[in-house]
Each structure stands twice: as structure tokens, then as C-alpha cells.
Amino acid sequence: MTTKRAIILAAGKGTRMTSYASASPKALLEFNGEALLTRQMQSFTEAGITEFILVAGYLYDRMRDYAATSRHNIRLLYNPFFSVCNSIGSLWFARDYLDESVFITNGDTFFEKSIFAQLESNPNSYIFGIDKSKKLDADYCVSCVGDEIVDMGKDIPKDEVAAEYIGIALMRKQGIERFRELLENYILFENYNLWWEDLFTGMIAKRERISFEDVTGKTWFEIDEPRDYRKYQRLFK
């Protein structure tokens, strides 16, 4: 694994999870005694990732205490505007770490370690993880032509949906300067309410190549609602 860094965005409040996360950031919800964030970073570590850039906001003191005692190599950043911006704002606070190849994901996700190696096996500059087996009930959708993503978002017509985006992407060093420049321009023009992935819709419109890896059959999940939390508990028993 040549990529050694992961940026984890975990500043949001997780309003759909208030029944479980009112006193804890969603990333610190426990799965059989260990925080989801711990399990996520352990999977990264087993794949060869050695540095974690963690952006926190909601209940920052809890995340600070967690990072201080973690066995992982965490650099903790604070997004004080977490209540008025979306994940693009959190990524902006991590912009100084967009200087080498890096995985980017959110703090409410989990991926088996083979997924990281699969994304890295792709030589292109921007690689998104997708799951074609989830196309019928996809939340964040992608449309593909050949080996490229040609549209992505939550409002793609159903007959154009090819897969579900699984919540992780790899930005390679050869494309990272372009990506960082685009991020800074979006913030300059006050596009605070976007998901960080929305940067790529503009790139797609300019016919820039956005690649993907289909991880069908591999284990991954995202915790959006209480039923997700209950459902995926069984994976760690």
C-alpha cells in the first residue's frame, strides 16, 4: 500500500441518529465494545495506512478525549462551523493535508481492508468506491459509462443509476493539486452547504476523468439511521 494517509470527516451532528448519538458523536457509537471510528481505523491500519487526519466538530471535547487515548496516529482538526456547513467545509479545514495521495471518507463508515487495496490498484487520479449490487436501493447514486463515472448524486433518474457510492474515494498525488484548487475555489465563493463529493460534479461537467472500483460482494456500511446501527451490530459479535 503506497498511500499512507486517510482523511476522516466526522464533524457533523448526525441529526437522524439523535436517539443514539445525542451525547456522543456518531463516529464514537460502539459496536461490541469498540467505537465505529476505532474499527474503521483498524481496518485502514491493517491495509497499511499509518496517518489519520480527523476533522471533528459536534461534541468536540469527546473526540479530543478519544484521539488523546487512541492507539492510532491521529492528527485532530476542529471545524467550528459544523452546524452551518456541510462536509466540504470540514475538508477545507484539512486542506493542508491534500498534498499527497490520500483516502477520504466520513466517520460513520466501515470498509473491509481489501477495499482499500482494490481502490489503490486503479492507476487513475480519482477513484471512487461503488457497489453495483446496491443500485436498486442506492442512496448516493452514480451513473457510469465504461470505466468512468459520468454523473453522481441523490437525484439521478432511476434508469440511469449504475451503483451506489460507498462513501470512500482515493485521490492520487498526480491529481491532488487540481482537487485542492477546486476545493478552495468552492469555499471562496461560499459554497458551504455542499457535500465534499459535489466537487466532482463540476469536474464531470468539464469531462475530467473520474474512475471507480466496484466492490460488490465486499463488506462495507454507513450509519445514517438507527436501523443501520441495529443492523450492523451483528458484524462484530
pLDDT the model gives residue 235 = 86
Q: What's phi and psi for 45, nearest 5 deg?
A: -60, -40
pLDDT the model gives residue 15 = 64
Could you give all domains of the chain from N- to C-terminal order, each with its CATH number?
5-123+167-191+219-236 (3.90.550.10)
pLDDT the model gives residue 172 = 96
Rg (CA), the chain: 17
pLDDT the model gives residue 165 = 97
pLDDT the model gives residue 24 = 82
pLDDT the model gives residue 226 = 85
pLDDT the model gives residue 22 = 61
pLDDT the model gives residue 178 = 94
pLDDT the model gives residue 186 = 94
Q: Are 120 and 141 in contact (CB under 8 A)?
A: no
pLDDT the model gives residue 23 = 74
Per-residue CA distances from 76 to 14, 51, 55, 155, 219 (Å): 19, 11, 6, 33, 27
Question: From the first residue on, what is the mean pLDDT of each consecutive set of 10 residues in the chain (237 residues)?
Answer: 95 70 83 94 97 97 96 97 94 97 97 98 97 92 96 92 97 95 94 93 90 98 88 85
pLDDT the model gives residue 234 = 85
pLDDT the model gives residue 18 = 61
Q: What's phi and psi for 122, nearest 5 deg?
A: -85, 125
pLDDT the model gives residue 14 = 66
Write the secondary structure of 144-208 as one string of H (helix), E (strand) and C (coil).
EECCEEEEEECCCCHHHCCEEEEEEEEECHHHHHHHHHHHHHHHHCCCCCCCHHHHHHHHHHCCC
